[in-house]
Amino acid sequence: MGVLLDVRNLTVRFGVRRKGAAFGPKAFLTAVDNISFSVERGKTLAIVGESGSGKTTAALALAQLTLGHVSGEMTLDGNSLVGLDAQGLRAMRQRVQVIFQDPYSSLNPRKRAKDIVSEPLESLKKISKQETETIVDELFAAVGLRPEQKALFPHQFSGGQRQRIGIARALATRPDVIICDEPVSALDVAVQAQILNLLRRLQSDFGLTYVFISHDLGVVQHMCDSVAVMYMGKVVEHAERTALFSKPRHPYTKALLASVPSVERTVLQEDRQSLIHGDPPDPLNMPKGCRFRSRCPYAQDICAQSDPELSVLDQAQKVACHFPL
Amino acid sequence: MTPLLQVENLRIELKTRAGVAPVIDDLSFTLQQDESISFVGESGCGKSMTALAIMGLLPDRIGRIAAGKIIFDGEDLTKASEARLREIRGNDISMIFQEPMTSLNPVFTVGEQIAEVLRHHQKLSKTAAHATAIELLDAVRIPNPKARIDEYPFQMSGGQRQRVMIAIALACRPKILIADEPTTALDVTVQAQIFDLLRDLRRQTGTSIIMITHDMGAVAEMAERIIVMYAGRKAEEGPVQQIVKSARHPYTRGLISCVPHIVADVTAKRQELTEIPGIVPGLAEFGKSQCLFAARCSHKTEKCLIKRPDEMEFENNHKSACWIAKEL
C-alpha cells in the first residue's frame, strides 16, 4: 500500500475587493494556507474543521474545481495534478471524482437518473452505448437502486436515494480517488447510516481511496483511517485515527472533541472546562502568530510572535502547536 | 403538582391535495415547572407541528387542531382567541427557530428587535427597553453589548445571531421556551457554547424548555425527559438515561444505534452501523390503524399490521407504543 495522493504546500487564494475601496490593490483571502497531507491507497483521509476552515476548498482544489489561485504540488500516483491541459484534465477527472453535499442541488432536475449516472462516461470516456448501459446497470445494483428507477427524474427520489445516484455517478468512471464533501450532512439521521455503510462497502469492493470532508466527528471517527484537522486554512493536527481520537495533542482538536454532545454523560462533565469561547478571527485580517491563540486556553507570549509549524511528535502524529498537550 | 403544560389527545389535521391527513395523531404529554423535555425523530414526524400548535402558529387554513386540549396554566389554548394568543406568545411561551440567518429581520438593528418584545408585552418606555436590551445581550454573552446593540443581523456571526434570538425569546422571562433545532445550522464548538448558555439561563430563570432535535447526543445533554415521535405518533416517552440504556421501542433503538457516536476509547475495529431501512411514510399513510413503523421494523408481526399498538407503561413513567415493548 503506497501513498496514492500526495499534497505539498497547497495554498488557495481568492482575490477580494477591500471593503469600500473601488481602487487600489486587491486584497487576498487565503482560504487554504500552505498545507500538506497524503493519503494511502485504499484508505480514507478525513478533513475536519468548522465552517470557513478551508476543508472544502482544499478538497475541491484537488479536483481542480476551485476558482481561486492554486499553488503547491499535488500528485496522484506520482503524476502531477497541477497545470494540466484540457486533455490532461479529462484523464485526471476519470481518476478523481466528487460526491457533493447537497443531493437536491447537485443533480440536474431535467435529466433522468440513468442519464445523470452515464454523463461522466459519455464526456470522459469513449465507449459504445451498449457498454454504457451495462455499466449503468451495474452501478445501479452496486448502490442499491432498483433497475426500474433508471428512467425516473431526481424529484421522484428521496434524499437518501438521490445521494445514491450521486454516488453512482462518482463511481461511473471507476476512479481511484473519491472526494466526499459532507456526503451525509443533508440527510436524515436514519438515512445517514444507510449511506455511510454503502460508502464503506463500496470502498472495499472497488478499492477506493476517499478524501472525506465532514464536520461531524462521530461520522469521521466511524469512517476514516487518518484525520487532518483544519483551523482557519491551516492543518493543525494530522494523525492516525486511533491516535487522534484517544489522545488529541492540539488544544483545538481537544476542544472540538469535547464539544460533541455525547450520549455517555460521564465523558462529558470532565471535558467541560476545555470548551472554547469566542469566534474565529477575521480571515481577511489574520492575526500574527498562531491563529488559534485568541481562543486557546494555553496561549503564551511566543504564540503571538511565531506561527507554529506542523511538526512530527510521535511516529504518526503531526501537530502545529508550541505547547502540544 | 399540576403541570405547567398539559397536552391531551391532541390531533392536528393538515389539508393536502389527497385529503385530510392527521400529522399529529392522539398525542398526550405534560411539562412540569422547571423541567426540560425533548422531542426526537426524523423530519416529517410532527415534531415542529407540535411546537407550532402550542404557539398557536399552525399554518392558516391548512392546518387545524381537530381534537384535544393544550392546557397552559389552567387555560385551554385551543379555545383561546387570537388576541389572547398574541398576549401569551413571546410573553409566557416563546420560541427560537432553527435558522438564525432567516428568523431575524434584516432591516432592523438587533437592539430594535429585542426592544420590540419588551415594549409590546411589558409596555416599557423606549429608553427603558433599550437599556434592558443591552442587559439581555450581555446575559447571552455577546461581547461589548453597548456597541453591538446598534448592529444589523448581517454584521453578526451565526452563533451571535442565535444568541440574539435567545435574548429576544427570553426578554419577558417566559415560563416555557420552545427551541426548534436551535443548533443544527451551527458549528459544534458554537453548539456547545449555545447549550452551555441555555443551561445557565435555565438555572437562573427557571424556564421550562421544550427542545426539538434529531441528535440523541444533544438530548442527553439538554433534557431530562424525551419523547420519540414517529409519523405523527408518540413512539416512546421516558427519562433520557433510562431510554438511552434500555429503549423499549425498535425505532428508538434504531435512532440511537444508527448514529456513529464518538467514543472515548477508540479501537481499530469498527462495526457496521445499524440501519433503519426505508424512510418515513408519506402523509397519505398517516392515521392508518396499524403500527406505522412496521414497514421498517425488524420485529414486526402480523398484529402490527392490524392494529395500532397501545401505550404500555413501565417504571419511572416510561411509556412505549409497541406490541413487544415488554420483551425488548
DSSP secondary structure string, B171-191? Answer: TT--SEEEEESTTTTS-HHHH
What global pTM score does this model have?
0.87
Interface of B with A in 285-314 (CB under 8 A): none
Q: At residue B98, does pLDDT exceed 90? A: no
Contact yes or no for B188 and A242 at CB 8 A: no
Task: Please give the average per-residue pLDDT across B167-176, as a whole number.
Answer: 91
- The reported pLDDT for the residue numbered A124 is 86
Is B40 an interface residue toward A (CB < 8 Å)? no
- The reported pLDDT for the residue numbered B6 is 94
A210 and A270 housed in the same domain = no
Q: Is residue A319 part of a domain?
A: yes
pLDDT-based confidence at B177, cuts 50/70/90? very high
**pLDDT single digits (tens) B17-58:** 888 888 998 999 999 988 999 999 888 888 888 999 999 888
3-state secondary structure chain A: CCEEEEEEEEEEEEEECCCCCCCCCCEEEEEEEEEEEEEECCCEEEEECCCCCCHHHHHHHHCCCCCCEEEEEEEECCEECCCCCHHHHHHHHHHEEEECCCCCCCCCCCCCHHHHHHHHHHHHCCCCHHHHHHHHHHHHHHCCCCHHHHHCCHHHCCHHHHHHHHHHHHHCCCCCEEEEECCCCCCCHHHHHHHHHHHHHHHHHHCCEEEEEECCHHHHHHHCCEEEEEECCEEEEEEEHHHHHHCCCCHHHHHHHHHCCCCCHHHHHHHHHHCCCCCCCCCCCCCCCCCCHHHCCCCCHHHHHCCCCCEEEECCEEECCCCCC
- The reported pLDDT for the residue numbered B273 is 82
pLDDT-based confidence at A261, cuts 50/70/90? confident
Q: At residue A20, does pLDDT exceed 70? A: no
Contact yes or no for A218 and B255 at CB 8 A: no
Q: What is the mean pLDDT of chain A?
A: 87
Task: Please give the average per-residue pLDDT across A217-242, as a whole number.
Answer: 91
| A86-95 helix and A113-124 helix, angle to the nearest 10 degrees | 130
Nearest chain B CA: its distance from A98 CA (Å): 23
**pLDDT single digits (tens) A157-214:** 988 899 999 999 999 999 999 999 999 888 888 888 999 999 999 999 999 999 999 9
pLDDT-based confidence at A269, cuts 50/70/90? low
Kindly list the residues from chain A whose CB atom is less than 8 angstroms away from the CB atom of residue B244.
263
- The reported pLDDT for the residue numbered B101 is 77
- The reported pLDDT for the residue numbered A14 is 87
Residue A161 near residue A145, CB atoms below 8 Å:
yes
B110 vs B44, more confident: B110
A34 and A104 housed in the same domain = yes
Contact yes or no for A265 and B261 at CB 8 A: no
pLDDT-based confidence at B121, cuts 50/70/90? very high
Nearest chain A CA: its distance from B190 CA (Å): 8
Interface of B with A in 138-177 (CB under 8 A): 143, 157, 159-160
Q: Is residue A151 part of a domain?
A: no
Q: Is residue A323 part of a domain?
A: yes
- The reported pLDDT for the residue numbered A109 is 93
SS3 content of chain B, % helix, strand, coil (to 5): 35, 25, 40
Nearest chain B CA: its distance from A112 CA (Å): 22
- The reported pLDDT for the residue numbered A304 is 87
Nearest chain B CA: its distance from A241 CA (Å): 8
Task: Please give the average per-residue pLDDT across A141-169, as a whole number.
Answer: 91
A86 and A201 housed in the same domain = yes
Q: Is residue A275 part of a domain?
A: yes
A103 and A18 housed in the same domain = yes
How far is the C-alpha of A163 from the C-alpha of A187, rounded, in Å?
A: 9
Contact yes or no for A275 and B275 at CB 8 A: no
Kindly list the residues from chain A whose CB atom is less than 8 angstroms away from the CB atom of residue B192.
258-259, 261, 275
- The reported pLDDT for the residue numbered A22 is 63
Cell for B231? 409519523
pLDDT-based confidence at B221, cuts 50/70/90? confident
- Find, in chain A, the residue whose alpha carbon is nearest to that of B222: A261
Contact yes or no for A221 and B274 at CB 8 A: no
Kindly list the residues from chain B whose CB atom is less than 8 angstroms away from the CB atom of residue A268.
221
Nearest chain A CA: its distance from B265 CA (Å): 6
Kindly list the residues from chain A whose CB atom is less than 8 angstroms away from the CB atom of residue B264.
246, 264, 267
A41 and A103 housed in the same domain = yes
Is B254 an interface residue toward A (CB < 8 Å)? yes
Nearest chain A CA: its distance from B316 CA (Å): 19
| Chain B contact probe: residue of A260, A266, A274, A282 with most B CBs at under 10 A | A260
A287 and A196 housed in the same domain = no
Q: At residue B184, does pLDDT exceed 90? A: no
Query: Percentage of residues in chain A with pLDDT exceeding 90?
Result: 39
**pLDDT single digits (tens) A121-136:** 988 888 899 999 999 9
Q: At residue A270, does pLDDT exceed 70? A: no
Contact yes or no for A263 and B220 at CB 8 A: yes
A215 and A305 housed in the same domain = no
pLDDT-based confidence at B225, cuts 50/70/90? very high
- Find, in chain B, the residue whose alpha carbon is nearest to that of A282: B157
A85 vs A19, more confident: A85
A182 and A257 housed in the same domain = no
pLDDT-based confidence at A19, cuts 50/70/90? low
Is B18 an interface residue toward A (CB < 8 Å)? no
pLDDT-based confidence at B250, cuts 50/70/90? very high
A219 and A183 housed in the same domain = yes
A217 and A81 housed in the same domain = yes
Nearest chain B CA: its distance from A272 CA (Å): 9
Residue whose C-alpha cell is 409590546: B120
A270 and A187 housed in the same domain = no
Burial label for A36, CB within 10 Å (0-12, 13-18, 19+), is middle
| Chain A contact probe: residue of B240, B241, B261 with most A CBs at under 10 A | B261
pLDDT-based confidence at B176, cuts 50/70/90? very high
* ipTM for this model: 0.82
Nearest chain A CA: its distance from B80 CA (Å): 36
Is A156 an interface residue toward B (CB < 8 Å)? no
Q: Which H or E run includes B261?
A: none
Q: Is residue A180 part of a domain?
A: yes
Count of structural domains within chain A:
2
Give B4's DSSP letter. Answer: S
Interface of B with A in 53-82 (CB under 8 A): none
- Find, in chain B, the residue whose alpha carbon is nearest to that of A219: B260
- The reported pLDDT for the residue numbered A271 is 54
Under 8 Å CB pairs connecting chains A and B tally to 123
- The reported pLDDT for the residue numbered B18 is 80
- Find, in chain A, the residue whose alpha carbon is nearest to that of B279: A191
Compare CB distances from A260 to B241, B262, B270 and report the shortest one's residue: B262
Q: At residue B326, does pLDDT exceed 90? A: no
Contact yes or no for B189 and A259 at CB 8 A: yes
Q: At residue B316, does pLDDT exceed 60? A: yes
- Find, in chain A, the residue whose alpha carbon is nearest to that of B281: A158
Q: Is residue A25 part of a domain?
A: yes
Task: Please give the average per-residue pLDDT across A75-99, as a whole number.
Answer: 88
Query: Percentage of residues in chain A with pLDDT exceeding 70?
Result: 94
- The reported pLDDT for the residue numbered A264 is 67
Cell for B79? 379555545
pLDDT-based confidence at A25, cuts 50/70/90? low
- The reported pLDDT for the residue numbered B37 is 94
Q: What is the mean pLDDT of chain B?
A: 89
Contact yes or no for B217 and A262 at CB 8 A: yes
Q: Is residue A271 part of a domain?
A: yes
Interface of B with A in 259-288 (CB under 8 A): 259-268, 270, 272-277, 279-280
Contact yes or no for A193 and B196 at CB 8 A: no
Query: Percentage of residues in chain B with pLDDT exceeding 70?
Result: 99
Per the structure, the complete domain to which residue A297 belongs is given by: 248-325
- The reported pLDDT for the residue numbered B187 is 83
B275 vs A116, more confident: A116
Compare CB distances from B279 to A158, A200, A275 and report the shortest one's residue: A158
Q: Is residue A159 part of a domain?
A: no
Q: At residue A267, does pLDDT exceed 80? A: no
Nearest chain A CA: its distance from B86 CA (Å): 34
Look up the CATH number of the domain holding residue A93. Answer: 3.40.50.300
Task: Please give the average per-residue pLDDT across B170-199, as a whole number.
Answer: 88
CB environment A50-82: b (16+ within 10 A), e (fewer): bebbbbbbbbbbbbbebebebebebbbeeeebe
Kindly list the residues from chain A whose CB atom is less than 8 angstroms away from the CB atom of residue B267.
242
B61: region left, alpha or beta (phi > 0 left; psi from -120 to 50 alpha): left
- The reported pLDDT for the residue numbered A265 is 54
Compare CB distances from B42 to A190, A215, A219 and report the shortest one's residue: A190
A263 and A175 housed in the same domain = no
Task: Please give the average per-residue pLDDT across B155-160, as a whole number.
Answer: 86
Task: Please give the average per-residue pLDDT across B251-263, as a whole number.
Answer: 85
- Residues 6 or more apart in contact with residue A120 via CB below 8 angstroms: A93, A94, A97, A169, A172, A173
